[in-house]
Amino acid sequence: MIRKSVCIVGLFAMVMVATLLLSAASPGSPAKAPQAASAEVKVDNFSFGPATLTVAVGTTVSWTNRDDIPHTVVSTDKVFKSKVLDTDEKFSFTFAKAGTYPYFCSIHPKMTGSVVVQ
């Protein structure tokens, strides 16, 4: 009976420690576990804004179509390709390697942009 109580106390202590460790890794202290970076490109008025976006390696870039007309986000070098984005639809891509990634809207090819990954 006594032995069992000790076990329960021990288990409780372990849970406490685990909880403390977990909270240490939460957004409150970002230094220990870096958050995945993200960036936004607005597709508006038949243009990409910003037209050139510079991000760090590992960044996830999201494009949201704010036009009344559908658009696409297609890498000129075939690195990424969205499906057709109707109004308010979104496409995301994570850039794992450094480099310059030009892209365009395959429906309105005058719409061009580029992501610079450093």
Partner 1 sequence: MPKKTKDEILHDHNNDGIDRRGFLKCMAWAGTGVLCVMEGGILKSYSLSRPGAIGAREMAGELSFVQLSDSHMGFNKPANPDVAATLKAAVDKINGLSKPPEFMLHTGDISHLSKPEEFDTVDQILKGASAKDVFFVPGEHDVLNDDGKSYLERYGKKAKGAGWYSFDKKGVHFIGLVNVLNLKAGGLGTLGHEQLEWIEDDVQHLKHSTPIVVFAHIPLWSVYPEWGWGTEDSAQALAYLKRFGSVTVLNGHIHQIMQKVEGNVTFHTAASTAFPQPQPGKADSPGPMKVPAEQLKSVLGITDVNYVQGRNALAVVDSTLA
46 binds partner 1 (CB under 8 A): yes
23: buried, middle or exposed (CB in 10 Å: 19+, 13-18, 0-12)? exposed
Cβ proximity to partner 1, 32 vs 110, nearer residue: 110
Identity of the residue, 5 or 45, whose beta carbon is nearer to partner 1 in the bound complex: 45
Q: Do residues 12 and 20 lie in contact, with contact meaning Cβ atoms separated by under 8 Å?
A: no
Binding track over 63-92 against partner 1, x by CB under 8 A: ----xxxx-x---x------xx-xx-----
Residue 62 contacts partner 1 per CB under 8 A: no
Tokens, residue 57 = 């390696």
